[in-house]
Chain A
Amino acid sequence: MEGWDPNTKSTLTQIPLLSTKAGPRDGAAWTQRLKEEYKALIAYTQMNKSNDNDWFRISAANPEGTRWTGKCWYVHNLLKYEFDLQFDIPVTYPATAPELELPQLDGKTQKMYRGGKICLTVHFKPLWAKNCPRFGIAHALCLGLAPWLAAEIPILVDSGMIKHKDDVSGSSES
């Protein structure tokens, strides 16, 4: 964890760790894992809200909890940039991390695989492998997506690749 900012580190220590090693094909054990995922996500969301650092919404898109959809946002120069967020729980979960997707940014940055999967190889995958099965979705958002947004969104905005929604719609509210 060297090289991580103290804020992320202290946030991370407060997200409950998971203990059940089970994937979507493991029946009852997966249900148990899903409960732990929810607990970690609830704790992380509550923590973000109380620290005035709310930055994502995520919920299961199917009853099995294998597909998740929601939104995430990042504030840059006092403007809020919001993106759709989606991912599948891979069959080999939790040995492999979910591949987080921001489909609206597909093709706009090099640091992304096809379909809008953000690149997690260097900053996140080794951490996930080291902490299997204790890390879950909440940890993937905290250690995978948050630093990616912090590194990429300012570059994408400054280079003009993404525009704030008010700029695009032509100041409809004024």
Chain B
Amino acid sequence: MEAELKDMIDDLESLKRSLPDSSLHASINKLELRVENLAKMAMSATVRRSKVKDMSSEVVDSNPYSRLMALQRMGIVENYERIREFSVAIVGVGGVGSVAAEMLTRCGIGRLLLYDYDKVELANMNRLFFRPEQAGMTKTDAAVQTLADINPDVVLESFTLNITTVQGFETFMSSLRNKSFRPSKEGSGVDLVLSCVDNYEARMAVNQACNELNQTWMESGVSEDAVSGHIQLLIPGETACFACAPPLVVASGVDERTLKREGVCAASLPTTMGVVAGLLVQNTLKYLLKFGQVSSYLGYNSLKDYFPTMAMKPNPQCSNAACLERQKEYILAKPARDAAAKAKMEAEASSATECSLHADNEWNISVVDDSNPDSVEATSADALPEGLTHELPNADDFKKSPAPGPTDTSIDDLDLLRKQLEALNAD
């Protein structure tokens, strides 16, 4: 476009020279000026900031990270720049995932992995992030386009696939295992997986992958009626996995029977989605940069502005085999964990001044631990705090094998069975 405009100025110039009548020169000059203005506008539109090598805390208008690095000066975060080492995978780049991706991009996260199989539609425009001119693009492509412009420092990887299919799941797993970004990292290649999907099947697939990879993840959701949502931290073996108990939903706070359920066109609000994305990324930053208290479950009921919280222990009878393995490992690692906790307490105690001890203790008052750190706040899966309910029922116990029905065939060969069905299908 720039070259085109430059050619146009040259053409105008030669036109001016070839014109014998100088009375037209004034209007040609005016045209030239306008073309020059256009050229300037085109220049500024394509300006993209160059990559930044180190995050600086220098307070100047041109530093994209000055306000973030100020978190260190304020004593909130010890080392903000560590954020550049972290990789976060975002599964589902919709109303919540795209906003979470933008927040992390603006925070200068090291690397983002994005997964979605959908396309941008005009029906998505009531939510944040995507623009109308991106309609028809895949959500992953559109997101990469915008995010790379916002912050070129972030390494973006996108995967256009459905993680619930066998093939998509394998690609998903291998992309999480890939450690080329930071080969020295222990475990998988990502620090956190954020589930921002809109259905149970995809959540269960993320749960399966994270249980198998022993990968900490956070789940998020917004209700179909757009007025409530939640975020949840899942650490395989340590907290309840997504299959340990039927999924929790925040009760809407109004009589369920008055809710209309016609069609599946879910309602959505940019506000609720933005709030949930904000809660999710806040919890992510606290988890990665180690500040504040990381929430294990935080609900949001917008009708009553009620935020229930809870913690859930894993279910020893969980139906997910990988979850049970992680639970076993977590129990086995308990002595090491206790020792580490003790060492940390001693280190803190030795650094603290001991002037609070009193010389005499007439009443034999002593300070005791009021709880075992492993059982803090954890409730069993069936005792839910007010405002939370289960979305699906538990599987019934069914120990005895089903009685063979009258039509049970003695054939036990897959090919024969397949042929038998084909024969039935043929007529």
Residues of A within 8 A of B (CB): 14-19, 21, 24-25, 31, 34-35, 38-39, 41-43, 45-47, 49, 57-60, 64, 66, 70, 88-92, 95-97, 99, 109-114, 119, 121-122, 125-126, 129-134
Q: Does B184 contact A (CB under 8 A)?
A: no
Q: Say which residue of B165, B246, B265, B418 sits within 8 Å of A91 (CB atoms).
A: B165
Q: Does B332 contact A (CB under 8 A)?
A: no
Q: Does B355 contact A (CB under 8 A)?
A: no
A92 and B414: CB pair below 8 A?
Answer: no
Beyond A25-B166, A70-B425, A126-B392, 18 additional pairs, beta carbon < 8 A = A16-B402, A17-B402, A18-B402, A19-B402, A35-B412, A42-B407, A42-B417, A47-B407, A59-B422, A90-B201, A91-B164, A95-B320, A99-B201, A122-B261, A129-B246, A129-B395, A130-B393, A130-B396
CB-nearest residue of chain B to A92: B204
Q: Say which residue of B205, B261, B404, B409 sits within 8 Å of A92 (CB atoms).
A: B205
B425 and A92: CB pair below 8 A?
Answer: no
A-B contact pairs, 17 of them (CB 8 A): A14-B406, A35-B412, A38-B414, A38-B417, A38-B421, A39-B408, A42-B421, A43-B405, A46-B424, A66-B165, A70-B425, A90-B205, A92-B164, A96-B204, A114-B118, A131-B395, A132-B319
Q: List A contacts of B393 (CB < 8 A).
A: 126, 129-130
A16 and B421: CB pair below 8 A?
Answer: no
How far is the CB of B289 from the nearest CB of chain A, in Å?
Answer: 32
A45 and B414: CB pair below 8 A?
Answer: no
- Complex CA distance for A49 and B423, rounded to whole angstroms: 13
A96 and B200: CB pair below 8 A?
Answer: yes
Q: Does B208 contact A (CB under 8 A)?
A: yes
- Complex CA distance for A130 and B392, rounded to whole angstroms: 8
Q: Say which residue of B169, B394, B414, B422 sits within 8 Å of A130 (CB atoms).
A: B394
CB-nearest residue of chain B to A122: B261
CB-nearest residue of chain A to B172: A91
Q: Does B35 contact A (CB under 8 A)?
A: no
Q: Indicate whether A131 sits within 8 Å of B396 (C-beta atoms), given known contacts A16-B402, A38-B421, A91-B205.
A: yes
A35 and B414: CB pair below 8 A?
Answer: yes
- Complex CA distance for A90 and B394, rounded to whole angstroms: 20
CB-nearest residue of chain A to B408: A16
- Complex CA distance for A58 and B200, rounded to whole angstroms: 25
- Complex CA distance for A16 and B182, rounded to whole angstroms: 51
A57 and B395: CB pair below 8 A?
Answer: no
CB-nearest residue of chain A to B392: A129
How far is the CB of A162 from the nearest CB of chain B, in Å?
Answer: 17
Number of interface residues, chain B, beta carbon within 8 A? 45
How far is the CB of A52 from the nearest CB of chain B, in Å?
Answer: 14
B165 and A90: CB pair below 8 A?
Answer: yes
Residues 71-126 (chain B) with a chain A CB within 8 angstroms = 118
B420 and A38: CB pair below 8 A?
Answer: yes
Q: Indicate whether A59 sits within 8 Å of B164 (C-beta atoms), given known contacts A14-B405, A14-B407, A16-B407.
A: no
Q: Does B68 contact A (CB under 8 A)?
A: no
Q: List A contacts of B425 (CB < 8 A).
A: 45, 57-59, 70
CB-nearest residue of chain A to B162: A88
- Complex CA distance for A95 and B244, rounded to whole angstroms: 12
Q: List A contacts of B169 (CB < 8 A).
A: 25, 91
Q: List A contacts of B200 (CB < 8 A).
A: 96, 125
Q: List A contacts of B199 (CB < 8 A).
A: 113
Q: List A contacts of B163 (CB < 8 A).
A: 91
Q: List B contacts of A43 (CB < 8 A).
A: 405, 407-408
How far is the CB of A55 from the nearest CB of chain B, in Å?
Answer: 13
Q: Does B60 contact A (CB under 8 A)?
A: no
B417 and A31: CB pair below 8 A?
Answer: no
Q: Does B401 contact A (CB under 8 A)?
A: yes
Q: Indicate whether A46 sits within 8 Å of B396 (C-beta atoms), given known contacts A38-B420, A119-B264.
A: no
Q: List B contacts of A38 (CB < 8 A).
A: 414, 417-418, 420-421
B208 and A92: CB pair below 8 A?
Answer: yes
CB-nearest residue of chain A to B168: A91
CB-nearest residue of chain B to A71: B425
How far is the CB of B225 from the nearest CB of chain A, in Å?
Answer: 13
CB-nearest residue of chain A to B420: A42
Q: List B contacts of A125 (CB < 8 A).
A: 200, 392
A92 and B412: CB pair below 8 A?
Answer: no
Give the residue among A34, A119, A129 with the most B Cβ atoms within 10 A: A129
Q: List A contacts of B165 (CB < 8 A).
A: 66, 88, 90-91
CB-nearest residue of chain A to B419: A38
Q: Which A-B residue pairs are the 8 nearest by beta carbons? A: A110-B263, A38-B417, A17-B402, A119-B264, A43-B407, A92-B204, A129-B392, A91-B169
Q: Does B363 contact A (CB under 8 A)?
A: no
How far is the CB of B242 from the nearest CB of chain A, in Å?
Answer: 10
Q: Indicate whether A31 sits within 8 Å of B405 (C-beta atoms), given known contacts A46-B424, A59-B422, A125-B392.
A: no
- Complex CA distance for A126 and B408, rounded to whole angstroms: 27
Q: List A contacts of B421 (CB < 8 A).
A: 38, 41-42, 45, 59
- Complex CA distance for A15 and B165, rounded to whole angstroms: 27
- Complex CA distance for A111 and B263, rounded to whole angstroms: 4
Give the residue among A19, A95, A97 with the most B Cβ atoms within 10 A: A95
A16 and B319: CB pair below 8 A?
Answer: no
